DNA sequence: ATTGGGAAAGGACATATGTCCTGAATTGGC
DNA sequence: GCCAATTCAGGACATATGTCCTTTCCCAAT
């Protein structure tokens, strides 16, 4: 992580994401811009959090590691997203590890200033409420979905969600996006089993493998399998009502 | 549902749960007390929400039903808890169905007044933030836990969490608390499989069956199985930091 | 070109879990 | 007390998923 001394850039992001009212006058001087390289850990499960981060550029991966060493990828996030919000409100240790999947740019602010100047600042509180309810909503869907559907359906849904916003319909290997074992951990299954299911999909003509890369061939077929259940990872409609 | 015209009682609850600053002067006249009988639906998945409810007495069950008709019980809640908070903030349809498991008493307030008088009221926003982050925290744990552990472990954990706050260590049949099929739906498995695992537990001497009722015999044994992972359903420590 | 390392795919087997169905047990009504 | 209807426990089988290990393939360093 390195701090980016570029007030201009910071202001640009604040404007672009309409955060100017959220971080009002007294908070402004304490905002900084931070850059992370692919693979950098932005925060680590179990540690004491210090900063609230706002993801404004790049892609991050959020995961948890069990005491037995298993990893579960909880989500991939793109802007606008907030890290450390739940911990800020509850005063608890960091819940999940956050890692940069690409180069990442985040706005950071120390809890100290949030407590001091943001505690009663309604726009900030409203912003946090919106972000957190959205997280809750996504996680709630994710929980039900995972518990109620077999891996086959989850994979179909996952493939659709990952490829929908990419230009082409390929699931990249390691370079640009998400590895297969990340995918396995995200779906909550073993790498072995993931391969098994992908094989099935190949036989059915839904996808094709091309040395480590999965290419979606039949979106409609996958969609039928997924049964309209898609992992959400974008801000749904239903705009702010607050 | 029936409205309870008892200002005295309402004020008592407000005091008991320290909600007096949360619902300030302009909101007060619009608070009402509502009673529900066991089995009543407090709100229904997919409908348009109108009221924010605060659970102040009794026990409720929150569940979702998939399009295939499967039911997944997400949680059981006791006071203090809030229903309709996420929907209020996001302006979305009701996410899950909520049902009274015992006689239930809730404070209700129409969204209309929350929007009108509560929108910028920091104590209310802070209260919602605390409640929702807590929900998020619990759901996050629940997701990882369910995805990373087999039914055996989840059941052990469930039995511990359900019996810890009861006077005796029995999992009641249908009358007072939670039915076995609710338990199955909560753990996210089939009734059949639940029985299978219970049978194992009986053989190992961890629990005993007594006509429909499960009696915990060896909490330590269950605890070892659960491996310190306990379903959370109470407000953890880590008090407010806001 | 050669080779060693490591990722990637898949085989073999064990276990976990789901579905369907049957028989026992329980309850409410007469 | 007896019977029908309902609930509950469990058998039999199929499927889903996990673990371990082997094979193949690719690439980098020599």
CB B196 within 7 Å, strand C: yes
Domain spanning A2-124: which CATH class is it, in words? mainly beta
Interior/surface letters B22-44, b for 16+ CB within 10 angstroms, e for the rest: bbeeebbebbbbbbbeeebebbe
What is the sign, positive or negative, of the torsion defined by CA atoms of A141, A144, A149, A154? Answer: positive
When scoring B21, B124, B147, B185 by the number of chain A Cβ atoms within 10 A, the one with the most, hence best to mutate, is B147
User: Taking CB atoms and an 8 Å limit, are B132 and A133 in contact across chains?
Assistant: yes
Structure tokens given for B12: 């008592």
Strands (DSSP E) found in A66-212: 71-77, 81-83, 97-100, 104-110, 170-171, 207-210
Closest-CA residue of chain A to B74: A144
CA A5 to chain centre: 26
Please report the pLDDT score of residue B238 as a whole number: 46
Please report the pLDDT score of residue B234 as a whole number: 53
Residues in chain A: 242
**B70 pLDDT above the threshold of 90:** no
CB B4 within 7 Å, strand D: no
- Integer Cα distance of B25 and B29 in angstroms: 8
User: Taking CB atoms and an 8 Å limit, are A136 and B74 in contact across chains?
Assistant: no
Domain spanning B2-121: which CATH class is it, in words? mainly beta
Confidence class for position B79, pLDDT limits 50, 70, 90: very high
Average pLDDT (B20-25) is 95
User: ∠ CA A208-A214-A219 to the nearest 5 degrees?
Assistant: 70
- Chain A CB contacts of B68 below 8 Å: 148
Question: Are A159 and A219 contacting, i.e. CB atoms less than 8 angstroms apart?
Answer: no
Please report the pLDDT score of residue A234 as a whole number: 53
Could you report the per-residue pLDDT of B89-112, keeping only the tens digit for each? 999 999 999 999 888 999 999 999
* Number of other residues whose CB lies within 10 A of the CB of residue A26: 12
Answer whether A79 touches B (CB < 8 Å).
no
Could you report the per-residue pLDDT of B175-186, keeping only the tens digit for each? 445 688 889 999
Structure tokens given for B8: 């005295």
- Integer Cα distance of B89 and B62 in angstroms: 19
Answer whether B81 touches A (CB < 8 Å).
no
- Chain A CB contacts of B147 below 8 Å: 72, 146, 188
User: Taking CB atoms and an 8 Å limit, are B91 and A238 in contact across chains?
Assistant: yes
Question: Are A73 and A120 contacting, i.e. CB atoms less than 8 angstroms apart?
Answer: no
Question: Are B27 and B51 contacting, i.e. CB atoms less than 8 angstroms apart?
Answer: no
**How far is residue B120 from each of residues B24, B111, B125, B126, measured CA to CA in Å?**
12, 14, 8, 11
User: A201: which residues sit within 8 A by CB, 6+ positions away?
Assistant: A155, A156, A207, A222
Q: In angstroms, how far is C9 C1' from B78 CA? A: 50
Closest-CA residue of chain B to A92: B238
Strands (DSSP E) found in A37-158: 41-43, 51-57, 60-65, 71-77, 81-83, 97-100, 104-110
Could you report the per-residue pLDDT of B145-158, keeping only the tens digit for each? 999 999 999 999 99
**How far is residue A223 from each of residues A153, A217, A226, A230, B48, measured CA to CA in Å?**
9, 12, 5, 9, 28
Q: Where are the domains of chain B?
A: 2-121, 149-226
Widest CA span in chain B:
60
- Strand C nucleotides within a 7 Å radius of protein CB atoms: 7-12, 16-21, 25-27
Higher pLDDT, B43 or A179: B43
pLDDT-flagged residues of chain A (< 70): 164-178, 232-242
When scoring A22, A91, A134, A144 by the number of chain B Cβ atoms within 10 A, the one with the most, hence best to mutate, is A144
Could you report the per-residue pLDDT of B127-136, keeping only the tens digit for each? 999 999 999 9
Strand C-contacting residues in A 160-179, CB cut-off 7 angstroms: 173-174, 179
DSSP states of A82-93 as a string? EESHHHHHHT--
Residues in chain B: 242
Residue linked to tokens 């005295």: B8
User: A228: which residues sit within 8 A by CB, 6+ positions away?
Assistant: B67
**B239 pLDDT above the threshold of 60:** no
CA nearest to B157, candidates B203, B197, B193, B128: B197
Task: Output the average pLDDT for chain B.
Answer: 88
Answer whether A140 touches B (CB < 8 Å).
yes
For residue B100, the 8-state DSSP code is: E
Higher pLDDT, A240 or B47: B47
Closest-CA residue of chain B to A119: B242
Please report the pLDDT score of residue A1 as a whole number: 85
Residue nearest to nucleotide D19 (CA to C1'): A192
Structure tokens given for A31: 């905002």
DSSP states of chain B as a string? -EEE--HHHHHHHHHHTT-TTTS-TTTGGG-EEEEE-TT-EEE-TTSPP-EEEEEEES-EEEEEE-TTS-EEEEEEE-SSEEESHHHHHHT----SEEEESS-EEEEEEEHHHIIIIITT-HHHHHHHHHHHHHHHHHHHHHHHHHHHS-HHHHHHHHHHHHHHTSSSSEE--SSSS--HHHHHHHHTS-HHHHHHHHHHHHHTTSEEEETTEEEE--HHHHHHHHTT-----S--SS----
What is the sign, positive or negative, of the torsion defined by CA atoms of B157, B160, B162, B165? Answer: negative
Topology (CATH) of B149-226: Arc Repressor Mutant, subunit A (1.10.10)
Please report the pLDDT score of residue B237 as a whole number: 45
């Amino acid at each position: 992580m390195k701090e980016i001394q570029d007030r201009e850039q910071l202001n640009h992001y604040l404007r672009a994401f309409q955060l100017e009212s959220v971080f009002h006058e007294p908070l402004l001087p304490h905002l900084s811009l931070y850059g992370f390289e692919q693979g950098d850990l932005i925060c680590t499960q179990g540690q004491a959090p210090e900063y609230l981060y706002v993801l404004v550029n790049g892609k991050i991966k959020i995961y948890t590691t069990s005491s037995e060493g298993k990893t579960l990828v909880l989500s991939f996030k793109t802007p606008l997203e907030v890290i450390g919000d739940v911990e800020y409100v509850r005063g608890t240790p960091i819940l999940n590890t956050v890692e940069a999947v690409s180069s990442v740019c985040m706005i950071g602010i120390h809890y100290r200033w949030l407590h001091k100047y943001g505690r009663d600042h309604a726009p900030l509180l409203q912003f946090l409420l919106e972000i957190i309810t959205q997280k809750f909503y996504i996680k709630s869907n994710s929980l039900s979905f995972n518990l109620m559907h077999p891996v086959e359906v989850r994979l179909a849904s996952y493939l659709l969600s990952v490829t929908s916003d990419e230009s082409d319909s390929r699931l990249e290997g390691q370079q640009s996006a998400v590895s297969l074992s990340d995918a396995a951990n995200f779906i909550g299954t073993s790498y072995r089993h993931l391969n098994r299911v992908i094989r099935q999909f190949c036989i059915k003509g839904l996808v094709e493998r091309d040395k480590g890369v999965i290419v979606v061939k039949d979106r409609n077929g996958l969609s039928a399998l997924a049964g309209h259940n898609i992992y959400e990872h974008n801000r749904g409609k239903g705009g702010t009502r607050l």
